[in-house]
């Protein structure tokens, strides 16, 4: 039982087709898109496939041009798992956006979902289950940044999450997480790809700190974005003093 997870494709039709080919080759039964398609044409690429397509759209910018595909929230049970999906996630001064950010926090804190899926950040992040919050939250990254283009494949039955990363012109699996273990148990599936990913992630973190997830305070040690040092140390990158400290 595999799910494909993708978000923020931003009209990158060639990369979308490559991601879809991977989903079908891997036998994904469901594919979830967490918004920022940019237009109906990109969403249509996911239809009439060997998987069932689920999606949400953004609320104020890129997806305004879409007419045939609109969905603010996904709240459903899929393969006996409670799933909540929403697009907007990072903090904003506008009161309506702050409310939307809190929807993710509230869905996680409610304990009513096995998986919370979200987008908007343009980099991969996820939250492990913990005694205080068993919900697993996943942001599959997106295709917006060429050097940080990722999507994920979730093996629901076996509790494994694989991160696929664009290396040159192909998506390759680079990281595997066991959803019942800690971040230091992550597996490297492609050492060269992991290093490229880690270098790009470090650049983004310090160049676009407004995109980093200060908003998610629940059990912060359970978020991958608060544990980058584990990844950086494993690939031999010297980290700067962490602004999360």
Mean pLDDT throughout 122-126? 89
- pLDDT at site 131: 79
Q: State the pLDDT confidence band at 177, using cuts at 50, 70 and 90.
A: very high
**Beta pairing class for 136-140 and 115-118:** parallel
Three-class secondary structure of residue 197 per DSSP: helix
Q: Are 202 and 233 in contact (CB under 8 A)?
A: no
Q: Which helix (H) or strand (E) holds 42?
A: helix 40-44
pLDDT at 121: 82
Q: pLDDT band for 45, please (50, 70, 90 cuts).
A: very high
Residue-range domain boundaries for the chain: 2-235
| pLDDT tens-digit series, residues 181-234 | 999 999 999 999 999 999 998 887 766 554 555 445 455 678 888 888 899 999
Query: Do β-strands 124-127 and 136-140 pair in parallel, antiparallel, or remain unpaired?
Result: antiparallel
Between strands 170-178 and 160-167, the pairing is antiparallel
How confident is the model over 61-117, as pLDDT tens digits? 554 555 555 566 788 899 899 999 987 765 555 555 545 567 787 888 888 999 999
Closest CA to 87 of 15, 8, 156: 8
What's the pLDDT score for residue 213?
A: 52
Question: End-to-end CA distance of the chain, in Å?
Answer: 38
Other C-beta atoms within 10 Å of 65: how many? 12
Global confidence as pTM: 0.89
CATH code linked to domain 2-235: 3.60.21.10
User: Which three-class secondary structure state does DSSP give residue 194?
Assistant: helix
Q: Measured between alpha carbons, how far is 202 from 177 in angstroms, rounded to an integer?
A: 20
Q: Is the pLDDT of residue 39 over 80?
A: no
Which CA distances in Å does 152 have to 39, 91, 131, 165?
22, 24, 25, 9
Question: In the chain, what are the helix, strand and coil shares in percent, each to the nearest 5?
Answer: 30, 25, 40
């Amino acid at each position: 039982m595999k799910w494909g997870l993708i978000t923020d494709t931003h009209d990158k039709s060639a990369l979308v087709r490559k991601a879809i080919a991977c989903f079908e080759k891997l036998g994904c039964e469901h594919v979830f898109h967490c918004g920022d398609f940019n237009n109906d044409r990109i969403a249509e690429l996911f239809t009439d496939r060997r998987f069932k397509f689920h999606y949400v759209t953004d609320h104020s910018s890129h997806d305004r041009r879409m007419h045939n595909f609109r969905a603010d929230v996904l709240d459903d049970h899929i393969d006996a798992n409670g799933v909540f999906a929403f697009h907007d996630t990072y903090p904003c001064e506008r009161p309506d956006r702050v409310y939307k950010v809190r929807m993710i926090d509230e869905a996680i804190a409610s304990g009513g979902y096995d998986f919370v899926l979200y987008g908007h950040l343009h980099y991969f992040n996820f939250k492990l289950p913990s005694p205080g919050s068993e919900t697993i939250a996943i942001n599959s990254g997106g295709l917006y940044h060429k050097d940080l283009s990722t999507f994920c494949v979730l093996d629901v039955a076996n509790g494994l999450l694989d991160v696929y990363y664009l290396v040159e012109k192909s998506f390759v699996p680079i990281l595997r997480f066991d959803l019942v273990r800690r971040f230091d148990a992550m597996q490297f599936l492609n050492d060269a790809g992991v290093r490229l990913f880690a270098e790009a992630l470090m650049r983004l973190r310090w160049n676009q700190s407004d995109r980093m997830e200060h908003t998610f305070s629940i059990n912060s040690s359970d978020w991958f974005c608060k544990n980058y040092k584990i990844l950086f140390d494993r690939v031999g990158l010297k980290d700067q003093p962490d602004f999360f400290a």
